[in-house]
């Protein structure tokens, strides 16, 4: 029998990797909350029709990358390839978008049947952010600033922001005609992939990485030269905001994105440190999607960041990991002390909700318990020997510094721990 293996393109995250994921999780949830975004949890499975309508029939994602299946009821279902469609579906279904301007975020696995390679997987993870009901470029700029803040928090440098405007839905449609005319005239110079896309999804031809097409594409009519006054003003507004926030960017007239729902602003954060899969975060405006899915017209803008790619970058650039080790390890000896230890631990957790406290379980000499305390990564050992238990005292032993041990009444322990440990990190801030 062949050994069991994970499915191609789908990976386990082992405990050694957990601290990276946890660090990213924590920074994302704190940064999103700092901008007033609220968390939403969405199903992994939706009706395939949702993605056909939202992402677009002629996109690679829907055409060849979706995991579609029928369940026992015969439904035509899909593992979600991205989160925006489900978020809009949920917003409409629960009336969140009606006369409201929700700012939402979600995270979790997405599934695309792509050719796996470094940075490209069949199950990958995203943090996604979406804001509804806000038409101005100020919110686009704020979302980009939110990413920039996250990069700073994570200690990441060298990320390049590219922006473009696809114009309104009508302008985009008109441009499509202009582009198709041009590409048809140069059909001989196109490769097979581009010829196929020419009819189905011509904007994506601009995305081609084939160097043989570089000349033809360089002369192709540019999308942002075809924008009307409103779209131009919107894009100028975005640039003014980014300038005033001190966020550098490059305008890339070829940035079109691989999903059909975008209009006006599109953006990507790129790195040159991860090889071919260089986009760590991408998004833009999708002012037509809510209406297209059956509700009142509602402008919207959002982005998603690729967790695996960001973690690869964090590892390369040495992001400081947030510790998950206990702050304190409680050591005890003798039955009266043991009973007291578990009670004392509960009292300490009541008094200090952010305290991470591990109580030694079972027997063991002081020596072996200290060894475990050391291995746990705790900063201090709290010692409850028979003598301390009898006197209502406890001892604090510092495991990582030269400070001498202190013996104090148990009721003063919480106050002392608050002073000497780095707890309530979130309240102290990271920047």
Binding site for ligand HAM (CB under 6 A): 82-84, 112, 114, 120-121, 124, 126, 128, 130, 259, 279-284, 286, 302-304, 306, 308-309
Tokens coding 407: 């013996």
Shortest Å distance, C-beta 394 to ligand HAM: 49
Residue count (the chain): 431
Work out the number of other CB atoms within 10 angstroms of the CB of residue 278: 15
Residue 401, phi then psi, degrees to nearest 5: -130, 175
Q: Kindly write down the DSSP assignment for every residue of 191-202, as one continuous string.
A: -HHHHHHHHH-G
d(CA 96, CA 269): 29
d(CA 420, CA 251): 50
Q: What do you get for the CA distance between the two ends of the chain, in Å?
A: 54
- Whichever of 156 and 259 has its CB closer to ligand HAM, that residue is 259
d(CA 66, CA 372): 48
| Contact criterion met (CB below 8 Å) for 111 and 11 | no
- Whichever of 120 and 152 has its CB closer to ligand HAM, that residue is 120
- Whichever of 175 and 262 has its CB closer to ligand HAM, that residue is 262
d(CA 142, CA 241): 8
Shortest Å distance, C-beta 126 to ligand HAM: 5
Angle separating helix axes 413-420 and 335-351, nearest 10 degrees? 60
Q: Kindly write down the DSSP assignment for every residue of 383-403, as one continuous string.
A: EE-HHHHHHTEEEEEESSS-P
If we measure between CA atoms, which residue out of 423, 426, 425 comes closest to residue 356?
423
Pairing mode, if any, of strands 328-332 and 357-359? parallel
- Whichever of 286 and 370 has its CB closer to ligand HAM, that residue is 286
Shortest Å distance, C-beta 286 to ligand HAM: 6
Tokens coding 104: 């939402």
- Whichever of 154 and 281 has its CB closer to ligand HAM, that residue is 281
- Whichever of 133 and 302 has its CB closer to ligand HAM, that residue is 302
Residue 219's SS3 state is: coil
- Whichever of 135 and 334 has its CB closer to ligand HAM, that residue is 135
If we measure between CA atoms, which residue out of 173, 342, 196, 192 comes closest to residue 262?
173
- Whichever of 121 and 329 has its CB closer to ligand HAM, that residue is 121
| Contact criterion met (CB below 8 Å) for 408 and 394 | yes
Residue 227's SS3 state is: coil
Shortest Å distance, C-beta 195 to ligand HAM: 24
Shortest Å distance, C-beta 84 to ligand HAM: 4
Shortest Å distance, C-beta 124 to ligand HAM: 3
Shortest Å distance, C-beta 81 to ligand HAM: 8
If we measure between CA atoms, which residue out of 103, 138, 135 comes closest to residue 31?
103
Angle separating helix axes 137-153 and 229-244, nearest 10 degrees? 30
Shortest Å distance, C-beta 315 to ligand HAM: 15
Residue in the shown chain whose Cβ atom is closest to ligand HAM: 306
Shortest Å distance, C-beta 45 to ligand HAM: 17
- Whichever of 121 and 175 has its CB closer to ligand HAM, that residue is 121
Shortest Å distance, C-beta 82 to ligand HAM: 3
- Whichever of 10 and 19 has its CB closer to ligand HAM, that residue is 10
């Amino acid at each position: 029998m062949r050994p069991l293996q994970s499915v191609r393109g789908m990976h386990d995250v082992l405990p050694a990797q957990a601290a990276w994921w946890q660090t990213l999780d924590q920074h994302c949830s704190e940064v999103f909350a700092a901008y007033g975004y609220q968390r939403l949890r969405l199903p992994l499975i939706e009706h395939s029709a949702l993605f056909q309508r939202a992402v677009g029939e002629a996109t690679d994602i829907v055409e060849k990358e979706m995991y579609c299946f029928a369940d026992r009821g015969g439904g035509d279902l899909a593992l979600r390839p991205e989160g925006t469609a489900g978020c809009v579906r949920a917003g409409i279904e629960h009336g969140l978008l009606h006369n409201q301007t929700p700012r939402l975020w979600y995270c979790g696995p997405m599934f695309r049947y792509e050719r796996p390679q470094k940075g490209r997987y069949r199950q990958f993870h995203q943090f996604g952010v979406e804001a509804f009901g806000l038409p101005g470029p100020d919110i686009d700029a704020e979302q980009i600033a939110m990413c920039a803040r996250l990069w700073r928090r994570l200690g990441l440098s060298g990320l390049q922001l590219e922006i473009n405007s696809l114009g309104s839905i009508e302008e985009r449609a008109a441009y499509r005609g202009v582009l198709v005319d041009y590409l048809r005239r140069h059909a001989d110079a196109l490769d097979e992939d581009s010829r196929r896309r020419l009819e189905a999804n011509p904007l994506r031809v601009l995305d081609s990485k084939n160097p043989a097409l570089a000349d033809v594409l360089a002369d192709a009519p540019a999308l942002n030269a075809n924008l009307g006054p409103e779209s131009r003003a919107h894009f100028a507004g975005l640039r003014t905001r980014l300038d005033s926030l001190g966020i550098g960017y490059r305008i890339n007239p070829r940035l079109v994105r691989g999903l059909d729902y975008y209009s006006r602003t599109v953006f990507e954060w790129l790195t040159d440190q991860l090889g071919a899969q260089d986009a760590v975060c991408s998004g833009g405006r999708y002012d037509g999607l809510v209406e297209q899915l059956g509700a009142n017209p509602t402008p919207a803008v959002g982005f998603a960041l690729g967790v695996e790619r960001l973690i690869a970058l964090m590892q390369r650039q040495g992001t400081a990991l947030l510790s998950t080790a206990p702050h304190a390890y409680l050591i005890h000896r003798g039955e009266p002390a043991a009973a007291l230890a578990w009670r004392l631990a509960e009292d300490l957790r009541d008094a200090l909700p952010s305290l991470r406290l591990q109580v030694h379980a079972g027997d063991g000499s002081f020596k072996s318990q200290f060894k475990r305390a050391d291995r746990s990564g705790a900063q201090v050992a709290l010692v409850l020997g028979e003598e301390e238990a009898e006197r209502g005292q406890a001892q604090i032993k510092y495991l990582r510094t030269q400070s001498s041990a202190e013996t104090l009444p148990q009721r003063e322990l919480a106050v002392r721990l608050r002073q000497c440990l780095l707890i309530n990190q979130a309240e102290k801030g990271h920047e």
